[in-house]
Amino acid sequence: MNSYKQLWVLLALMIGIGLVGNLIAEGILQLFGYSLMDMVHATNLSLSERMWLRGALIINHMTMFLIAAIVFGRIFHRKQFLQYIKTFNEPNWTIIGLWGVAILCSYPVVGLLTELNMSVPLPEWARSGQDDAFALLNNVLKMEHPLEFIISLFLVGLLPALGEEFIFRGIVQNKLIESFKNPHVAILIASILFGLTHMQLERILPLAFLGLILGYSYYYTQSIMVPVVLHLLNNALQVVLLYSRGEIDPSMIESVPDLSAVAIITSALFTFGLVYVAKNYSVDTAAN
């Protein structure tokens, strides 16, 4: 089966296994008198409700991404799946540091892309979906107890780092490279798909931009653990910053800070400069 058809199988697995996971999560919640759909749209959930919601989301994410990736790998790569996505290529921590600093430096550029993206008129269905996504994040990132902080780190940090990187870099990007024979086109398409999957059209540009950095870090280092660690650090940093504020205000994730042109230009120069250095260092290290 060619790479295109394999990607359609992957999509079917994500939808099918994801639906099973959703039914399992909904069934567990119903047993205890809750409804996932009601929780997703609700505001000001109690501590108990927020914990149940996180548990349901963990099941959903694990099934749609991580388990779907593993099943796909078992079907098409047998016992060689982890080798195929380059899990065993030991990451160089200096390289991870370079790529990580590049992501940190890119935040003003990400802010500009977010502002530009949010200025684009969207249809009503897209705006309502965006509102639901923010309401969900507000509940997940409201952390009034240390246990909430730990579970949020797992849900927002570790799970997406593993599941999404296995899917979008390990499978989608690799399969697209096999199909197009042009890694840059493949990385771009995989990054756009990465952004679309988050169901936040008002943030598709910044998400795709971050996806590009993750995609190139994977391509040049030839180790899936590099984008996994970068993805984890990027998401975990946001959770830590929210929790460290003391008075948690998750609505800050909806805001875009005012940035000067100098800050944005400096961010762009440092980001692309660091990506260039990280790329060359990654290639030289891989060659040795």
Q: pLDDT over 90 for what percent of the chain?
A: 60
Residue 288 has what pLDDT?
Answer: 62
How far apart CA 269 and CA 288 sit, in angstroms, is 29
**pTM, rounded to two decimals:** 0.91
Question: What value does the mean pLDDT of the chain take?
Answer: 88
Which of 39, 37, 66, 43 minimizes the C-alpha distance to 52?
A: 39
Write out pLDDT tens, residues 221-260.
999 999 999 999 999 998 998 888 765 554 555 555 667 7
* DSSP character at residue 78: G
pLDDT of residue 91 exceeding 80, the answer is no
Q: How confident is the model at residue 45 (pLDDT cuts 50, 70, 90)?
A: confident
The highest-confidence range among 89-93, 241-245, 269-273, by mean pLDDT, is: 269-273
Three-class secondary structure of residue 249 per DSSP: coil
Query: For residue 252, what pLDDT is reported?
Result: 55
Distance between CA 199 and CA 130 in Å, rounded?
7
